[in-house]
Structure 1
Amino acid sequence: MSETKKAVIILSGGLDSTTCMGFAKEAGYELYPITFDYGQRHRIELEKSQQVADFYSVSDRYKVIKLDFLRGIGGNALTDDSIAVPTATGIEQKDAEEAGNDIPVTYVPGRNFMFLAIATSFAEAVGAEAIYIGVNALDYSGYPDCRPDFIAKVQEAMALATKVGVEGKPITIETPLISLSKADIVREGMRMGVPYELTTSCYNGKEEACGECDSCMLRLKGFKEAGHKDPIPYAI
């Protein structure tokens, strides 16, 4: 009998990362979720991540890593309380290519770079062969650390910086959502039975999602286009 293969999943408690959990499970991996407490204003996602880990019965392997210094650095709407979370306007009409040229104030400098570096350490320590991350190149936000060329370069660095890499068995970065629309992500998640009722996407971090920030609007648009009702409560 072959040894069970393992994957680390960077889990935020949101729609995308939870869908990645579904993809990793479907691929036959033993799941090792890792969540980052980086001083984000939407701290409810830490609670949601735990609930998702419970749902997949992997709480014994679930890790929460504190990166408090990101709040001290600030400079973005997710860790700096002096910067307001922007309200989405006209996403329905917004051209994705044009929007991708603008990097919004919700971009946290270096976040995915750090997440992947730490996830690599976790993966090598537990003997995981893959890291799943819910980056999406079609996302209107245009975050530079969600693009395929970024992932490719990090993959190269991982191969050079790890024992398993130099031994010829590098850890791979899996990005199953990279070319999917939000509607496609929802459809895939519904097919796999992903527990979207346990997730949150709201940047404001309330028990009820605001329904007005960029992340909420994109999520709602995805569910609408996928032909499904979003199961979480909204304040609007």
Structure 2
Amino acid sequence: MTEKVIVIYSGGMDSFTVLNKAILDGKQPVALSFNYGQRHKKELDYAKRACEMLAVPHKIVDISAINSLVGGSALTDDIDVPEGHYEEPSMQQTVVPNRNMILISLAVGYAVSQKANAVYYGAHSGDHAIYPDCRPEFVQKMKEVCAIANYEKVDVVTPYLHHSKTDILTDGLRMGLDYQYTWTCYNGREKACGKCGACQERLEAFKENEAVDPLEYE
């Protein structure tokens, strides 16, 4: 019997690669996306389109009410999105307090109800300097607590925890993935800005892989 897993799916490069990796590893993924009050919904539109293309069950949940509790981020509030390299101190403006703990907790609850054995999410080494909830020590503690939080043990799986964005793209290109189905830019305009930290990291990954990004940029 194929193992069912829940993939926290933002619509970006990392979660797209994780979702496809789960499929190729023989899992039966259900994609779970969240509207948590982010400044644009474009990534959710891309998530929906990719799941339709992959014929993967996809659930989008509106939890935007939490924005009144966990504001103060450039991703949720009326704060300018910082430009420049992904690891610059200014990128801390994009931290949404406790986001991944909240999303993982909800995904684990969904996993129990769906009789799924694991929750996958796309933390990677490039996030470690900026986002505490993408660091190995956080993932380890979440694995421990999610093993005892319910009668059913749910594993937290991070296939690329110790890999860079470039490594993720390398693996995705090896799998033959088409990244036109992903959105990375922190701005939600018609085209990607090419200037925010997320765009810069994405473009750098394509450059280091000697590949062409299929997205259009301003």
User: Is TM-score (shorter-chain normalized) higher than 0.5?
Assistant: yes
| In the alignment, structure 1 residue 197 sits paired with structure 2 residue 180 | yes
Percent of residue pairs identical: 39
Aligned residues: 217
Any idea what SS the aligned residue of 2:171 has? helix
Map of 2:73 onto structure 1: 76
Question: 8 Å contact 1:138–1:178 — kept in the other structure?
Answer: no
What TM-score do the two structures reach when normalised by structure 1?
0.87
Map of 1:147 onto structure 2: 135
Map of 1:183 onto structure 2: 166
Residue by residue over 1:125-168, the C-alpha shift from the partner in whole angstroms, topping out at 9 and shown as x without a partner, is 1111111100012336520000011011111111111111xxxx
State the distance in 2 between where 1:180 and 1:140 align. Answer: 11
Question: 8 Å contact 2:82–2:90 — kept in the other structure?
Answer: no
What TM-score do the two structures reach when normalised by structure 2?
0.94
State the distance in 2 between where 1:176 and 1:140 align. Answer: 15
Q: Assess, with a 3 A threshold, how the Cα gap between structure 1 residues 208 and 102 changes in structure 2: closer, same or farther.
A: closer
Question: 8 Å contact 2:122–2:161 — kept in the other structure?
Answer: yes
Name structure 1 gaps, 5 residues minimum: 165-169
Q: Which one has the largest radius of gyration?
A: 1
Paired residue for 2:119, among 131, 134, 151?
Answer: 131
Task: Give the aligned CA root-mean-square deviation in angstroms.
Answer: 1.7
Map of 1:107 onto structure 2: 95
* Runs of 4+ residues over 6 Å off in structure 1: none
Q: Assess, with a 3 A threshold, how the Cα gap between structure 1 residues 178 and 206 changes in structure 2: closer, same or farther.
A: same
Paired residue for 1:226, among 188, 209, 214?
Answer: 209
Paired residue for 2:108, among 100, 120, 125?
Answer: 120
Q: Assess, with a 3 A threshold, how the Cα gap between structure 1 residues 36 and 199 changes in structure 2: closer, same or farther.
A: same
Any idea what SS the aligned residue of 1:180 has? coil
Name structure 2 gaps, 5 residues minimum: none
